């Protein structure tokens, strides 16, 4: 979960770009990154308050998986509500960007909708440290949504750390299912 | 803290304590604890490793008058064995049954290579029991202890634990910790259908008592220094909050429920403050809450995770885990000066540090090439030694006499509790009757 020092510096730099370009930055309070290669580009476009343009731009760069969810009518809560993370990472993987974008569109279109982002880790490491790591993941998603124009008032974060595994077992298959952020409406 | 050598133990035995005990037979009254028990299945101890330096002792089955509800000699024998300091003679090797000092034939026990001998009798009295026992030094052919303990009828086990404490201290010169308790968390199920429980049991896993159940996570139980309260984190409102609960009455208050993390409560040695990790102002930082007036002091301000605080026994500094270096390591924050010093440098994952009671060592979770293991680090030398033999260890908690560390680990895919002596020589395990058992917290001395 820990970013390497260089990556951290880079992340801070990118976050600053993002914050500079974003009029509503509630929740972006630290040097952690959502860390995708598209971050700088997002930063420059995220000042847009219309949102649709930014969303479209993102959808077009996010590959093919999950485009079905991305093109859903924005009146319905997107069906895919869980995204997974790499070990020791809090960056949103490119294959899940379209999922997060779909949630961003839904939340922008439904200003009364509220989402609680639940951050989870696998079981390795100590419980209280993992509690903090789970929060880092959920915060990364919250920042991403915020940059996409979702109001901070619509989002909150709760980390469950390793306390609520989705799968049991001591193999990577279970671990990878457990490293996740879940969108709860 | 240290496991005494045999020579050291002998020196302890001769330190004069036995003489005073011999001259005055003490009488101690134990009052039964009021157990508002919603009993949970007891935990059963399995010894997993015996120390090669354990002292041979025989605990002769006690003579009984009436029908005692417990086998007092067996409880004492099990306690002494679990400590790792003693290797008790098996019962079927005992063929003489003296029950008072005057009847002991030292030659019999010398020929069995027994160094110490416990003999005694349990007498049922109106509404309770009287336990009389004698501790004999076989080689020196003399009596070290002669004690009488009276117990209310519901608390014969407590009396046996007290006798164990007295015997342990008379021989080792280290205060016994058999009359203590452990708190722990149980968990069953997966995902959204999980059930969690917070329990308190005697140090031998018996007399378990439910403190809280929830379908939301419970973690990080921590005993107040007076042993009467537990602070813990509960998600029962679907967010983390820190609660303080009186164990016996069940009364509780919510201490914190800030936005973000409310994590890792740790009592100050005077019981007036709780250190904790909060992320209300950004990244998780260490804060200290004054329990009486609910004021907060922020100790750390960093762009990293700072969590898992633990107070030094003298109350002047705190340990905490931080990933400010790029990976979790343990740091020490000195109150007053605010000086922060990194303590761990071995490996790339050291977390959840806990001071030894003398403040000279810390116990922690260390990622070795085997996995996550319990380790001990001497604060002066900085030397780190792995003391557990398991690989998925968490949540070390030190016995109040510093002789053992209890921790959570896994066995066959289930969470179990395990304990290892501070020197790593002996260990035992407390498997769960069902589901996972985790997050052990060893109480302070209770008597």
pLDDT, tens digit, 9 for 90 and up, residues B266-288: 999 999 999 999 999 999 999 99
Question: Which two tokens mark B439?
Answer: 């997050």
Does the beta-carbon distance from B308 to A128 stay under 8 Å? yes
Domain count, chain B: 2
Residue at which a domain ends, from B137, B172, B207 = B172
pLDDT at residue number A73: 61
Contacts of B235 in chain A (CB under 8 A): 158, 160, 163
For chain A, what is the mean pLDDT? 72
> Taking the alpha carbons of B281, B284, B289, B294 in that order, is the dihedral positive or negative?
positive
A30 min Cα distance to partner chain B (Å)? 6
pLDDT digits (tens, 9 = 90+) for B27-44: 333 333 333 334 456 777
Residues in chain A closer than 8 A to B187 (CB atoms): 163
What is the pLDDT, as a whole number, of residue A80?
Answer: 95
What per-residue confidence (pLDDT) applies to B172? 95
CATH of the domain at B167: 3.40.50.10070
pLDDT at A15 over 50: no
Which pLDDT tens digit goes with each residue over B194-251?
999 999 999 999 999 999 999 999 999 999 999 999 999 999 999 999 999 999 999 9
- State which residues form the domain around B256: 181-442
Best of A90, A122, A127, A169 to substitute, by most chain B Cβ atoms within 10 angstroms, is A127
Give phi and psi for B434, each to the nearest 5: -155, 150
Q: Which among B144, B172, B200 is the end of a domain?
A: B172
Q: For residues B40 and B158, state if they share a domain.
A: yes
Mutate to test the interface with A, among B187, B191, B221, B236 (most CBs of A within 10 A): B191
- Per CB-CB distance under 8 Å, the chain B contacts of A129 are 305, 307-308, 321, 323, 328, 351-352
Q: Which residue has the tokens 């090669």?
A: B52
Residue B134 and residue B251 in one domain: no
- Quick: pLDDT tens for A23-45: 333 333 333 333 333 333 333 33
Partners of residue A165 in chain B, C-beta under 8 Å: 190-191
Q: Where does a domain end: B128, B148, B172? A: B172
Q: How far is B288 from chain A (nearest CA, A)?
A: 17
CB nearest to A5's CB, from B220, B238, B326: B326
Reduced to 3 states (helix: H, G, I; strand: E, B; else coil), residue A82 is strand
Predicted confidence band of residue B45 (pLDDT cuts 50, 70, 90) = confident
Query: Which contacts (CB < 8 Å, 24+ apart) does range B360-368 have?
Result: B360/B1, B361/B1, B361/B422, B362/B319, B362/B330, B363/B387, B363/B396, B363/B398, B363/B405, B363/B422, B364/B330, B364/B396, B365/A125, B365/A126, B365/B393, B365/B394, B365/B395, B365/B396, B367/A125
Segment among A22-36, A91-105, B193-207, B415-429 with least mean pLDDT? A22-36
Q: How far apart are the first and last CA of chain A?
A: 26
Task: Give the residue with greater pLDDT, B189 vs B345.
Answer: B345
Residues B99 and B149 in one domain: yes
Q: From chain A, pick out residues whose CB is under 8 angstroms from the CB of B323.
A: 2, 129
CA angle, B287 as apex, B284 and B290 as ends, to 5°? 150
Q: Which residues of A touch B390 (CB under 8 A)?
A: none
Asked whether residue B255 is assigned to any structural domain, the reply reads yes
Q: How far apart are CA B18 and CA B128, in angstroms?
A: 28
Query: Which pLDDT band holds residue A177 (cuts at 50, 70, 90)?
Result: very high
Residue of chain A with shortest Cα separation from B367: A125
Contact B303 A2 (CB under 8 A): no
pLDDT at residue B364, rounded to an integer = 98
CA angle B194, B200, B206 (to 5 degrees): 110
Comparing alpha-carbon positions, the chain B residue that sits nearest to A184 is B238
Q: Running DSSP on this structure, what letter comes out for residue B340?
A: E
User: What does each C-alpha distance from A35 to A7, A19, B165, B289 come to in angstroms?
Assistant: 8, 14, 57, 35
Cβ pair B374, B365 in contact under 8 A: yes
B413: which chain A residues are within 8 Å (Cβ-Cβ)? 168-170
CATH numbers and ranges of domains, chain A: 5-184 (3.30.1330.60)
- Mean pLDDT lowest among B131-135, B147-151, B161-165, B186-190: B186-190
Residues of chain B that touch chain A, judged by Cβ-Cβ distance less than 8 Å: 187, 190-192, 194, 217, 219-220, 235, 238-240, 259-261, 263-264, 277, 279, 282-284, 303, 305, 307-308, 321, 323, 326-328, 349, 351-352, 365, 367, 372, 392, 394-395, 410, 413, 439
Whether B133 and B203 share a structural domain: no
Is B194 found in the same domain as B115?
A: no
Q: How far apart are alpha carbons B29 and B164 in whole angstroms?
A: 15
**Quick check: A131 and B307 CB within 8 A?**
yes
**Residue-wise DSSP of B161-225:** HHHHHHHHHHHHSS---TT-EEEEEEEESSGGG-EEEEEEEETTS-S-EEEEEESS-EEEEEE-T
Q: Which two tokens stand for residue B188?
A: 């069953």
State whether B292 and B422 are in the same domain.
Answer: yes
Residues B350-409: tens digit of each pLDDT: 999 999 999 999 999 999 999 999 999 999 999 999 999 999 999 999 999 999 999 999
Confidence of residue A107 (pLDDT cuts 50, 70, 90): very high
């Amino acid at each position: 979960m820990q970013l390497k020092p260089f990556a951290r510096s880079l992340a801070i730099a990118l976050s600053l770009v993002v914050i500079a370009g974003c009029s509503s930055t509630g929740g972006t309070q630290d040097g952690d990154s959502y860390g995708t290669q598209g971050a700088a580009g997002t930063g420059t476009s995220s000042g847009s308050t219309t949102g649709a343009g930014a969303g479209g731009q993102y959808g077009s760069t996010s590959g093919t998986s999950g485009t079905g969810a991305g093109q859903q009518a924005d009146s319905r809560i997107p069906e895919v509500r869980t995204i997974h993370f790499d070990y020791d990472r809090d960056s949103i993987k490119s294959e899940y960007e379209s999922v997060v974008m779909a949630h961003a569109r839904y939340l922008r279109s439904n200003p009364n909708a509220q989402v609680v982002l639940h951050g989870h880790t696998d079981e390795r490491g100590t419980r209280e440290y993992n509690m903090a790591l789970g929060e880092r993941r959920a915060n990364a998603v919250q920042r991403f949504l915020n940059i996409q124009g979702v109001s901070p008032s619509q989002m909150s974060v709760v980390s469950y750390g390793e306390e609520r595994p989705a799968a049991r077992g001591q193999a990577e298959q279970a671990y990878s299912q457990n490293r996740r952020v879940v969108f709860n409406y | 803290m240290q496991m005494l050598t045999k020579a050291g133990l002998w020196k302890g035995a001769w330190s004069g304590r036995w003489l005073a005990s011999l001259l005055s037979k003490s009488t101690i009254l134990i009052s039964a604890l009021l157990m508002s028990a919603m009993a949970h299945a007891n935990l059963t101890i399995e010894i997993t490793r015996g120390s090669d330096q354990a002292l041979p002792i025989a605990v002769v089955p006690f003579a009984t008058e009436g029908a005692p509800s417990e086998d007092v000699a067996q409880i004492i024998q099990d306690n002494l064995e679990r400590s790792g300091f003693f290797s008790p003679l098996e019962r079927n090797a005992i063929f003489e049954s003296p029950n008072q000092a005057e009847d002991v034939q030292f030659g019999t026990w010398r020929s069995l290579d027994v160094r110490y001998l416990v003999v005694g009798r349990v007498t049922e009295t109106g509404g309770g029991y009287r336990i009389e026992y004698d501790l004999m030094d076989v080689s020196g052919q003399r009596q070290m202890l002669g004690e009488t303990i009276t117990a209310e009828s519901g608390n014969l086990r407590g009396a046996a634990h007290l006798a164990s404490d007295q015997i342990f201290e008379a021989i080792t010169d280290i205060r016994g910790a058999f009359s203590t308790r452990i708190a722990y968390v149980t968990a069953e199920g997966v995902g959204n259908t999980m059930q969690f429980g917070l329990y308190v049991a005697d140090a031998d896993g018996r007399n378990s008592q439910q403190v809280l159940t929830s379908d939301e996570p419970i973690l990080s139980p921590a005993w107040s220094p007076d042993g009467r309260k537990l602070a813990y984190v509960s998600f029962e409102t679907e967010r983390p909050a820190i609660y303080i609960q009186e164990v016996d009455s069940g009364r509780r208050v919510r201490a914190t429920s800030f936005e973000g993390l409310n994590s890792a409560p740790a009592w100050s040695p005077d019981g007036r403050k709780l250190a904790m990790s909060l992320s209300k102002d950004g990244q998780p930082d260490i804060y200290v809450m004054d329990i009486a007036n609910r004021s907060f002091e922020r100790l750390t301000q960093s762009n990293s995770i700072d969590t898992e605080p633990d107070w030094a026994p003298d109350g002047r500094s705190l340990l905490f885990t931080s990933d400010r270096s790029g990976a979790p390591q343990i740091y020490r924050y000195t109150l007053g000066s605010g000086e922060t010093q990194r303590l761990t440098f071995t490996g790339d994952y050291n977390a959840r540090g806990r001071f030894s009671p003398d403040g000279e060592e810390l116990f922690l979770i260390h990622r070795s090439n085997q996995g996550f293991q319990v380790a001990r680090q001497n604060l002066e030398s900085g030397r780190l030694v792995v003391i557990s033999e398991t690989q998925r260890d968490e949540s070390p908690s030190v016995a109040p006499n510093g002789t053992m560390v209890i921790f959570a680990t896994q066995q066959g895919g289930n969470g179990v509790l395990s304990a290892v002596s501070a020197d790593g020589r002996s260990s035992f395990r407390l498997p769960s009757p069902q589901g996972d058992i985790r997050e052990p917290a060893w109480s302070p001395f209770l008597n």
